[in-house]
Amino acid sequence: MSLATLYNSLPGLEDASNAFKDRDVMFAKLAPLLAAYQLQFGVCLVHAHCALEEGEAMVANGTISRPVRGGPQYPERWLADGTPYEFNQEPTKAPPVELIRDFHAIVGKDTTLGLFYENNPPDGKVWLEYTRGRENIVELVDKDTLPNHFETGWIPGTDGPLKMTCSMVCVGTEEDHVKVHQTVDVSQVNSSSVPNLTNPQGN
């Protein structure tokens, strides 16, 4: 299976979030596992941002990820079985074989959870991601000023088994056969005009 075929088979954000059940139970099992690896990796909600064409990969350059062909591509997000599906232009570290094995044993085969390479926000901040066209953009925002959102990433925290590290402000729409993120203006983050989400999985 090509990378594009794999990526295009991933669920959209809302479907992935709805499929993630028993969160507290799962987090309680994953927290000690991730903590044992010095917080180098977190848990992510596996979902597609856009449809890829053959030969493309979703690659981050700074705070923007977009489909590219060629160039440096270091894995930064992995499916539960260790298959990379999103990349970065900067070098990363791969999850150890033991982490992949134990993570996979906890979350199971048919899961919308994966691993991501460290991108931990400062205290009081979270990563907000949103999509413009085929670009996925992340920005640091204050944790207590978030509108309704989907939680998409977690790391072990001091105030609980796992804490949220990034949030999504978007709604699912149909584009071809892939549910993708609706374009959201980040300037709306502190505004009442941000679109409400239906049953968002977040605070």
d(CA 125, CA 26): 24
156 vs 1 pLDDT, higher one: 1
- 131-135, 140-144, 155-159, 164-168: least confidently modelled range: 164-168
To the nearest whole number, what is the mean pLDDT of the chain?
Answer: 79
| Residue from 130, 180, 147, 148 nearest 12 by CA | 180
Given a cut of 60, is residue 201 above it in pLDDT?
no
Residue 159 confidence class, pLDDT cut points 50, 70, 90: low
pTM (two decimals): 0.80
The predicted-structure confidence for 98-110, as pLDDT tens digits, reads as follows 999 999 999 998 7
The predicted-structure confidence for 19-58, as pLDDT tens digits, reads as follows 999 888 898 889 889 888 988 999 999 999 999 999 999 9
183-194 burial code (b ≥16 CB/10 A, e <16) = ebebeebeeeeb
Whole-number percent of the chain with pLDDT over 90: 47
Q: List the chain domain ranges.
A: 3-188
| Residue from 167, 137, 171 nearest 14 by CA | 171
d(CA 184, CA 150): 13
The predicted-structure confidence for 67-122, as pLDDT tens digits, reads as follows 999 999 999 999 999 999 999 999 999 999 999 999 999 999 878 999 999 877 77
